[in-house]
Amino acid sequence: MSEKGRRKAAAVLKRRRARLAFRLPDAEHLLRGSLVKRYKKCGRMGCHCADDIGHGPAYYLSVTLAPGKTRSYYVPPQLKSRVSRYLRNHRKLRELVKEITELNQELLAQGVLDDD
Q: Is 79 in the site for Zn ion (CB under 5 A)?
A: no
Q: Is 49 in the site for Zn ion (CB under 5 A)?
A: yes
Q: Which is nearer to Zn ion, 11 or 42 (CB)?
A: 42
Amino acid letter for position 83? V
Q: What's the closest the beta carbon of residue 54 comes to Zn ion, in angstroms?
A: 7
Query: What values do phi and psi take at 60, rounded to 5?
Result: -135, 145
Q: How far apart are CA 100 and CA 16, in angstroms?
A: 9
Contacts with Zn ion in 28-47 (CB under 5 A)?
Answer: 42, 47
Q: What's the closest the beta carbon of residue 46 comes to Zn ion, in angstroms?
A: 9
Q: Is 58 in the site for Zn ion (CB under 5 A)?
A: no
Q: Is 53 in the site for Zn ion (CB under 5 A)?
A: no
Q: What's the closest the beta carbon of residue 42 comes to Zn ion, in angstroms?
A: 3
- Stretch of 6-14, 49-57, 72-80, 103-111 contacting Zn ion, by CB under 5 A: 49-57
- Using H for helix, E for strand and C for coil, what is the string for 43-66? CCCCCHHHCCCCEEEEEEEEEEEE
Q: Which is nearer to Zn ion, 30 or 49 (CB)?
A: 49
State the CB neighbour count (10 A cutoff) for residue 100: 16
Ramachandran region, residue 30 (left: φ > 0; alpha: ψ -120 to 50; beta: rest): beta
Query: What values do phi and psi take at 85, rounded to 5?
Result: -65, -40
What are the residues binding Zn ion (CB under 5 A)? Answer: 42, 47, 49
